[in-house]
Structure 1
Amino acid sequence: MTQSIRSKKILFLFTELSGYILNSFENALSSGFDIHVINYPVNKEAPFKFTKNKNIYYCDRDQFKSSHDLSIFIKNLNPGAIFISGWLDKNYLNVIRNPSIKFKKILMLDNPWRGTLLQNLWAFYFKLFYKSKFNCIWIPGEPQLKYAIKLGFKKKDIFEGLYTCNNKIFNLKNTLSLTNKSKVLLFIGRYSEEKGIKELWQNFVSINSTLDSKWQLWCVGTGNLWDNRTLDKNIKHFGFVQQEKIIEIISKAYIFVLPSKYEPWGVVLHEMVSIGKPVLVSDNVGSSSCFTNNGVNGFVFSHKKENDFKIKMKKLMELSNDELKKMGKESVNLSKRISVESWVQTLNKIYD
């Protein structure tokens, strides 16, 4: 096999798949890449049903019982580059350290730098035993940049834009006219502590009780807080919804809220600004650094500031329709900072 043919063959050692990453793979395929993916089973809390392109080759992670099995598969595949999703899978890491695996290796990382003792220790350990095995690193954006540097990567070897939303689904053409929006706040995510959903329910009920014209809060998702969800006549719990059916729900909502206490990136924010939603997000949402401009397309709040979440939610709910529409237009402008096209361009730069 010639180098020119092999140079477009790439392998992703992945964890859980998502609709947006599959869309990115499909666009790379259209740009001449031969894509192979090893991936984990679907998350039970988010059992999305994916339509996989038959020209992209997927293998279940469970097929490989050891790093030796993975090494044999990789050497037979003979890819031009290997993209590794983080470091949770020890067999993935063992393959990277295997001296017989000489292909270009790229680390994909979405953890933000938090400066914890564990992160500092791991950064030191990684530089000693793994850094030399990787050619470069691909991160979502600014919140991960410091971590990449701490791991020993030089700025020229750090690429941003790892995640982008599925623009086939999330775009203005797939939503109703702005004039049809109802007074609805929308949350999409897991029902879990780190998503800040309990505070969302509490603040909404409190604020709504003071308003003459009531809002509704629509929540899409499931998780370990489902059985303890707040029941209120103005809160609607949809449960888990497949992606192809979620647009109808999104199109009828006015404002998107993501109050996470920890969110390494949050592609859902990119999805919502692409559709033209004003947003209310916490400063713990990694993608807020890219897709929000505080006071312009919504508000960013801090869980560390007392009542900041509640104050900014109330402020947003009291804005006029014209003010919300203006924010929605600004969201669309910000959404263009990362795209599927830029994702493929970065993939080519990394490979070259």
Structure 2
Amino acid sequence: MASGRRVRIAYFVSHPIQYQAPLLRRIAREPDIDLHAFFFSDISVRGYADKGFGNVQVKWDVPLLDGYKSSFLPGIRKGNSFAFTRPVNYGIHTALNSGSFDAVWLHGYHTLNSLQVLALAKAHDLPVMLRAESMLYDRPRTGKTLAAKRAFFAGLRSAVRCVLPIGTANAAYWQYYLGEQFPMFRVPYAVDNDFFQGRSQQAAPAREALRKELGLEPGRPIFLFASKLQKRKRCIDLVEAYLRLAPAPGVDPHAYLLIIGDGEERSAIEGRIQASGLSSIRMLGFKNQGELPRYFDLCNAFILPSIHEPWGLIVNEVMNAGRTVIVTDQVGCQPDLIRNGENGLVFPAQNIDALRAALASILDDPDLAIRLGQRALETISRFSFEEDVAGLRQAIAYCVPGFPA
């Protein structure tokens, strides 16, 4: 690469993503990286009914396109959902042909569009850096499916120059399918720490006002869940564990449980709450990203009881509020962010008694949540976009001769 020339990167991703937009803005500040994002869909910009949130109309309240260069690719088979053949875009060849790019950064590999990018990048003799969320302890698959997957990765190995693991679990996935020696450069899943820490600080003075708004008694601890109400999120496990804190049938525990989100499991969860006769569990529905820091600040502990969770970026968000996080051992971010008993609590997935014990430990020792939350904030402050930029630069230097890491 000629001295002084900016390296040009074509980034292909499904749609503008609320977690990624701040990272793209940060990369755009690098003086020697000229990144252009190409989106297959504008679904998140125009608003859509999110099936995962129970068809709640979603339009994100944070800027998705500001501060970096981007284009929406023309396409067919558009819609309000994603699948292997939806959407299908054209114009990838034109974009690569006219951009004088030095490398391609691709997010995801499991759609027809992704395969198009891989094939066309190879035709243009452009190295591909691949990032995805996959992990080995995902949903069960048949032997036939696994055999097909291994065959697919044999081909993928020759189409990709390097991968960008988002964390430990994702790195193990790449090593398993691509080999121990396949080039990897860590670009971890981080969020905009400054944004979430700032919003949490702004929320603190209004904490008691929010408690009063929700009709919560002063002084009682608060447990929080905030995610899609899908089966794999296992919010029902949290409800069951919370109910086991009750001193007697029909008697409310000392703590409140707030549930933010919507989705396919809502009616089942509401039915279980109604059957319990308790009044201390509140279903608050969907909240936009900009609203969530108020609830993070309010809670004593946040719980994500998921199975097969690729990462769980909301954990990053809550840690930025300096709050205790309780997660299962199947939450992808756990090996990188949560050390049991040091800066959070970890329990075996779907073990309701273990989750109940974790909740009880917070109630039995009020200072425990404060100590764990403080250490969580220290941890997440070192897990930032700066690590992402450093990893991306290393990957670019590997793919583009002459680029300084």
The two structures share one fold, judged by TM-score above 0.5: yes
Structure 2 gaps of 5+ residues are 78-87, 209-218, 398-405
Label 1:213 to 1:49 Cα distance change in 2 as closer, same or farther (>3 A): closer
Please name the residue that 2:233 is paired with: 195
Q: Is 1:52–2:75 an aligned residue pair?
A: no
Question: Which of residues 368, 372, 387 in structure 2 aligns to 1:327?
Answer: 372
Q: Is 1:176–2:204 an aligned residue pair?
A: yes
In 1, Cα distance between equivalents of 2:63 and 2:368 = 39
Which runs of 4 or more aligned residues in structure 1 lie more than 4 Å from their structure 2 counterparts after TM superposition? 1-4, 64-68, 153-156, 179-182, 209-213
Q: Which moved more, 1:83-92 or 1:207-216?
A: 207-216
Structure 1 gaps of 5+ residues are none
Q: Does the CA-based 8 Å contact 1:6-1:80 persist in structure 2?
A: no
Please name the residue that 1:271 is paired with: 317
Q: Does the CA-based 8 Å contact 1:123-1:150 persist in structure 2?
A: no
In 1, Cα distance between equivalents of 2:359 and 2:309 = 19
TM-fit CA distance, 1:191 = 0.6
Query: Which secondary structure does the structure 1 equivalent of 2:130 belong to?
Result: strand
In 1, Cα distance between equivalents of 2:224 and 2:177 = 37
Please name the residue that 1:138 is paired with: 164
Letter in 2 for 1:97: A
Question: Which of residues 98, 111, 114 in structure 2 aligns to 1:89?
Answer: 111
Letter in 1 for 2:167: G
Q: Which moved more, 1:226-235 or 1:188-197?
A: 226-235
Q: Does the CA-based 8 Å contact 1:208-1:215 persist in structure 2?
A: no
In 2, Cα distance between equivalents of 1:13 and 1:132 = 19
Q: Is 1:255–2:305 an aligned residue pair?
A: no
Question: Which of residues 83, 102, 124 in structure 2 aligns to 1:101?
Answer: 124
Q: 1:60-118 CA deviation, whole Å, 9 max, x = no partner?
A: 35536766631222221232221112222213213312342222211112111138546
Query: Which secondary structure does the structure 1 equivalent of 2:11 belong to?
Result: strand
Q: Does the CA-based 8 Å contact 2:293-2:321 persist in structure 1?
A: no
Alignment of 1:56-67 (within 5 A): 56-61=68-73, 63=75
Alignment of 1:1-352 (within 5 A): 5=5, 7=7, 9-32=8-31, 33-39=33-39, 40=41, 41-42=43-44, 44-45=49-50, 47=58, 48-61=60-73, 63=75, 69-98=91-120, 99-114=122-137, 116=141, 117=143, 120-155=146-181, 157-171=183-197, 173-176=201-204, 183-210=221-248, 214-230=254-270, 231=273, 232-303=278-349, 305=351, 307-320=353-366, 322-352=367-397
When normalised by structure 1's length, the TM-score is 0.88
Letter in 1 for 2:256: Q
In 2, Cα distance between equivalents of 1:103 and 1:164 = 27
Label 1:159 to 1:262 Cα distance change in 2 as closer, same or farther (>3 A): same
In 1, Cα distance between equivalents of 2:352 and 2:325 = 20
Query: Which secondary structure does the structure 1 equivalent of 2:262 belong to?
Result: coil
Label 1:222 to 1:291 Cα distance change in 2 as closer, same or farther (>3 A): same
Q: Which moved more, 1:228-237 or 1:331-340?
A: 228-237
In 2, Cα distance between equivalents of 1:198 and 1:16 = 31
Query: Which secondary structure does the structure 2 equivalent of 1:132 belong to?
Result: helix
Label 1:12 to 1:162 Cα distance change in 2 as closer, same or farther (>3 A): farther
Q: Does the CA-based 8 Å contact 2:247-2:253 persist in structure 1?
A: no
What is the number of residues matched between the two proteins?
349
Letter in 1 for 2:281: I
TM-fit CA distance, 1:59 = 3.1
Q: Does the CA-based 8 Å contact 2:165-2:184 persist in structure 1?
A: yes
Query: Which secondary structure does the structure 1 equivalent of 2:195 belong to?
Result: coil
Q: Which moved more, 1:68-77 or 1:135-144?
A: 68-77
When normalised by structure 2's length, the TM-score is 0.77
TM-fit CA distance, 1:324 = 1.7
Letter in 2 for 1:132: S
TM-fit CA distance, 1:154 = 4.7
Query: Which secondary structure does the structure 2 equivalent of 1:202 belong to?
Result: helix
- Identity value in percent: 17
TM-fit CA distance, 1:228 = 3.2
In 2, Cα distance between equivalents of 1:77 and 1:64 = 23
